[in-house]
Each structure stands twice: as C-alpha cells, then as structure tokens.
Amino acid sequence: MLDLACGTGAMVAPAPPARLPDAILFGADLSRPQLRAARLRSPWLPLVPEQRHRPPLPQRCLRLVHWSWLLEHVPRERAVDILREVRRVLAPRAWPG
C-alpha cells in the first residue's frame, strides 16, 4: 500500500507492521520536512521522496493507493497527471483512494 502525499504519516501511523503482517506499507511525499516528521512518528515506515508527483514505482505494482488531502494541495492542472500516475501503478482490480 502506498500512502501518497503521506505528509507527517498521520494516516498510516496506526497501522504498524504487527497489525498488518501481510501488507507492505510505504509513504511518499514531495516535502522533505514532512517526510522527516513521518520518520519520527513511524520509524518503521519506508519513505520515498516523490519527484513531480510521480512515485518511483513500476507499472501495476500496487493493490492499494491511499491519499488524504492530496488533490487540494496541488494545482488543478496537475490533478489529472497525478490520477493518471496512480492508475499506472495500480494492479488490475486494485482500489484507489
């Protein structure tokens, strides 16, 4: 599961590996200060810096992409690009959102 625009990691922090033993969780964000805050909150969470809202992931590799407050923080013209990228990394029959 990718927590896209994870910010400080507040949404994924309640789901440490012990609670979801079969899940691979990681967060991505453009903001390095936010990633540092997420690291403090959830030291177990792998974090990756995004580049232009494009997480460094292969095509169709995820079953779940979560985001909260992502689209309200990007310019409207970038929203389509972001959603297109989410679709690219989601496996068939995956669940975005």
CATH number of the domain encompassing residue 46: 3.40.50.150
Task: State the Rg of the chain over Cα.
Answer: 13
Domain span at 89: 2-96
Which tokens belong to 94?
Answer: 């995956």
Phi, psi of 80 (to 5 degrees): -65, -40
Q: Lowest-confidence range among 17-21, 37-41, 62-66?
A: 17-21
pLDDT at 17 over 80: no
| This prediction's pTM | 0.79
Q: Residues 45-62: pLDDT tens digits?
A: 888 877 666 667 889 988
Which is higher by pLDDT, 47 or 13? Answer: 47
What sign results for the dihedral spanned by CA atoms 10, 32, 83, 54?
negative
